[in-house]
Structure 1
Amino acid sequence: MFQNNLEYAKTQDANDPLASYRKKFHIPKDKTGADLIYLCGNSLGLQPKITSEYIQEVLKDWADLGVEGHTQAKHPWLPYHEFLAENMAKIVGAKPFEVVVMNTLTINLHLMMVSFFKPTTIKFKIVVESDAFPSDKYAVESQLKFHGIDPKEGLILWKPRQGEDLCRFEDLEEIMKNQGDEIALLMIGSTNYYTGQSFPLKKITEIGHKYGCIVGFDLAHGAGNIQPNLHDSGADFAVWCTYKYLNSGPGSLGGCFVHERHAENKELNRFAGWWGHNKKTRFNMRKDFDALPGAEGWQLSNPPILSMAAIRASLDTFAEAGFDNLRKKSEKLTGYLEFLLDEMKNDSINVITPRNPEERGCQLSIQVKNADKTLHTKLSEAGVISDWREPDVIRIAPTPLYNSFIDVYMFSEKLKRILK
């Protein structure tokens, strides 16, 4: 199917219906003005060229209208987050009612656990994958401590087996079988940041609910990469950032999903703020808190519009390209990268990401023998932007919106030369 030559890569790009989207992004360049090979969208997505236009619109309305921009701007600021809901919902497989853009990821994770982690003397434990992103682990441990629970007793790690890199679902089943009556929450990263393994969200949710547990997911490396189908998965909640695959800029706002079955439950504990209050009486300052239904009810403060403008620019680009189309290209592009790595037949590297496209997104994690970070350093010097994750992995992510088959081929050629 695939071929290991430049002409093949050029032909694939020429026949790619999404190839034109590369021109819609700013591609970092080297000192000579040539494009660098940017394969780091799993850490920070590139800037869409329309982003400055969207932000300039807000700046102009602010300059021309001042406070009246809240209601009279081209895209009024008061309901600005609503302009993002439909396109964001398509990306994560949810109803617009179930998603909201607000805060940043770990803040949203804490807000969700305030509402959904309700430990009792019997049912108080939390399950996370053993190599979860550190921020998730810190957040979960601090929530346990907040409730007076020793993390050594309250935290359960879903681990790969000895000598393996990936988590097996049957091992999670065993955990639930043995400790399900004591587990209150399953809090899993949908796509593991280190291995690139994507977990079966619906199966995880079903087994969690079977034992009466709340189930939440961190989509930091999933949103804009895989289709999590959050609504159909039945997950209780999910959180994600937007600056990786969703190209919204460094430190930009995050997203939050709350399943519609919780939409009207005003009895849930929550840390409240005025932007989650009933819109009809929000500006009547002397009303008691009246939570909005749906995910909007978890908002705290009025949102930073400049950040939301950047998110809107990216979401409009996704909507134009079509997420199903992007996913189809992603599978082919990542498959090509996998093929080229296999062709090297070099025992200095090993791909630890699952081979099955349904169990991964666009990231392939290359494990380096003897944790030799100099390989990554040499790649950087050769014009490749990727990232190193301790102890021994180079993460390569050919994202379908702006990466090409030529990018993937040229990366493989540079890696081959360095390995020799």
Structure 2
Amino acid sequence: MNTGAPESFGLADGEAEARRLDAADPGHRHLFHVPPADGGRHPEAAYLAGNSLGLQPRATRDELAADLAAWSRLGVEGHLEGERPWLPYHELLTAPAARLVGATPAEVVVMNSLTVNLHLLMVSFYRPAGARTRIVIEDSTFPSDSYAVRSQARFHGLDPDTTVVRLRPRAGEDTLRTEDVTAFLAAEGDTVALVLLGGVNYLTGELMDIPAITAAGRAAGAVVGWDLAHAAGNVPLALHDWDVDFAAWCSYKYLNSGPGALAGVFVHERHLGDADLPRFEGWWSTEAATRFEMTPVSRPPATVEAWQISNPPIFAMGPVRTSLELFDAVGMPALRERSLRLTGYLAGLFDEVTANRPLTVVTPREPERRGCQLSVRIGAGSAAELAKRLRHEHGVIADAREPDIIRFAPVPLYSTFHDCWRAAEALAATVAEVNR
């Protein structure tokens, strides 16, 4: 696997070099709508915020219109008739979603939103007992995950301040070391009921060693789950082979399924059909073959669909299906290769930009320890204000996380080397050099 950047990079090489790289490595930008640029001389934005909201695939509008047309033409009969009947519609997403995360179709379902799914999964997999009560997260986890695990602790009558363990990097460092996570689990794992970490940390862009940490957590007797909001569609995953207990992810970032899009769930096959696992149930939790017998007692299938509750929103599923078709067509191996080239190129440019400015890249330098996000800490001022200047003065859309982080994500499906060059040039023009 190519793990490096193109051989030549630098701001002085200018647009010509970036354009040459794009001609040799064009990606799939033509399949997406790209917002217009504010400011500058470029018609399209350099969109590097796909880690917050992915761009709209051009195919989405027509596909969604076809689903709306079925409703207008068929009414209630659309549940069983038409090109894509609604009753089994969610099954169209199952196999491609399973391929995306490295799972079997029985282990994956698309439903709900990310935090709702995490709560439904914790109903089953966070079962504190005796001394084994603690939940391990990273200190810089996304706030929603922090809120979720703390509320789970309270729900079980526990003190969240002592139940939730927040793993912090070593002094003077920005990212967790795998050996520190596994050492904690080896030393204190008998008190841990659940490990719930982000596969790619939303703030720093660090790609965690999912198989090593999963193995350490399970060896300690804990359940291991992963929030893959910033990993699904960003890095290759093999959840089944890595022996992950459960995972959840959203579809509006790298999966380009629209704001608030439906999310995904994975439960390892060893848990499927386990009648001892508590679960919340509803209309869609029972087996499809007998659903319309309208019996009062659920008959859950021995698949992850047993965790479903309500019938899925069809018009929200269409964009996810359209996006997953793109990932199937291009393939995660090819996307990962291009991601390494793009992100390596941007990292080289940032080395030049940050050398004499109050800027620090906090994302790991090693390509295998990051996805396609590079997070830059600014030494003074507001990250949000800097992001506004990048957008309105240079047409570069990046993502701010206050107080001091700007996140740049060259998404391999649609970002270009020219986008990366524009981002580095804009950052250099916006942040003044320091006197040395």
TM-score range, shorter chain: over 0.9
Q: Equivalent residue for 1:28?
A: 35
- Of 378, 383, 388, the residue aligned with 1:377 is 388
Contact 1:92 1:229 in 2 (8 A): yes
**TM-score scaled by length of structure 2:** 0.93
The one-letter amino acid of 1:289's match is: S
- Of 294, 300, 304, the residue aligned with 2:309 is 300
The one-letter amino acid of 1:177's match is: A
Give 3-state SS (helix, strand or coil) of 2:380's partner.
Answer: helix
Residues 1:347 and 2:357 are matched in the alignment: yes
- Of 396, 402, 423, the residue aligned with 1:390 is 402
Percent identity of paired positions between Structure 1 and Structure 2 = 47
Q: Equivalent residue for 1:241?
A: 250
TM superposition shift of 1:7: 2.1
Q: Equivalent residue for 2:239?
A: 230
The one-letter amino acid of 1:404's match is: T
Contact 1:225 1:361 in 2 (8 A): yes
The one-letter amino acid of 2:214's match is: T
Which runs of structure 2 are paired with 1:76-87 in the superposition (5 Å)?
Answer: 76-87=85-96
Q: Equivalent residue for 1:286?
A: 295
Give 3-state SS (helix, strand or coil) of 1:230's partner.
Answer: coil
Deviations 1:134-178 (A, max 9, x none): 000100000000000101221111110111101112221232233
What stretches of structure 1 of length at least 5 have no aligned partner?
none
The one-letter amino acid of 2:425's match is: E
Contact 1:266 1:291 in 2 (8 A): no
The one-letter amino acid of 1:399's match is: V
The one-letter amino acid of 1:2's match is: S
Q: What is the root-mean-square deviation in Å for CA atoms of aligned residues? A: 1.3
Give 3-state SS (helix, strand or coil) of 2:194's partner.
Answer: strand
Distance 1:177 1:23 in 2: 49
Residues 1:60 and 2:66 are matched in the alignment: no
TM superposition shift of 1:61: 0.5
The one-letter amino acid of 2:376's match is: I
Q: Equivalent residue for 2:101?
A: 92
TM superposition shift of 1:266: 2.3
**TM-score scaled by length of structure 1:** 0.97
Distance 1:133 1:86 in 2: 28
Give 3-state SS (helix, strand or coil) of 1:370's partner.
Answer: coil
Alignment size in residue pairs = 418
The one-letter amino acid of 2:388's match is: T
Distance 1:62 1:266 in 2: 38
Distance 1:97 1:333 in 2: 35
The one-letter amino acid of 2:414's match is: Y
Residues 1:410 and 2:422 are matched in the alignment: yes
Residues 1:3 and 2:9 are matched in the alignment: yes
Residues 1:358 and 2:364 are matched in the alignment: no
TM superposition shift of 1:346: 2.5
TM superposition shift of 1:287: 4.2
Contact 1:371 1:393 in 2 (8 A): no
Deviations 1:342-362 (A, max 9, x none): 122233111000111111100
TM superposition shift of 1:334: 0.3
TM superposition shift of 1:31: 6.0
TM superposition shift of 1:132: 0.4
TM superposition shift of 1:391: 2.0
The one-letter amino acid of 2:225's match is: G
Give 3-state SS (helix, strand or coil) of 1:188's partner.
Answer: strand
TM superposition shift of 1:96: 1.5
TM superposition shift of 1:371: 4.6
Which deviates the most, 376-385 or 397-406? 376-385
Q: Equivalent residue for 1:167?
A: 176
Distance 1:375 1:267 in 2: 52
Which deviates the most, 96-105 or 1-10? 1-10
Distance 1:107 1:235 in 2: 19
The one-letter amino acid of 2:172's match is: G
Q: Equivalent residue for 1:151?
A: 160
What stretches of structure 2 of length at least 5 have no aligned partner?
1-6
Deviations 1:360-412 (A, max 9, x none): 10000001012543432321222111111022100000101111111111211
Deviations 1:172-202 (A, max 9, x none): 1232233211111101111100000010111
The one-letter amino acid of 1:412's match is: A
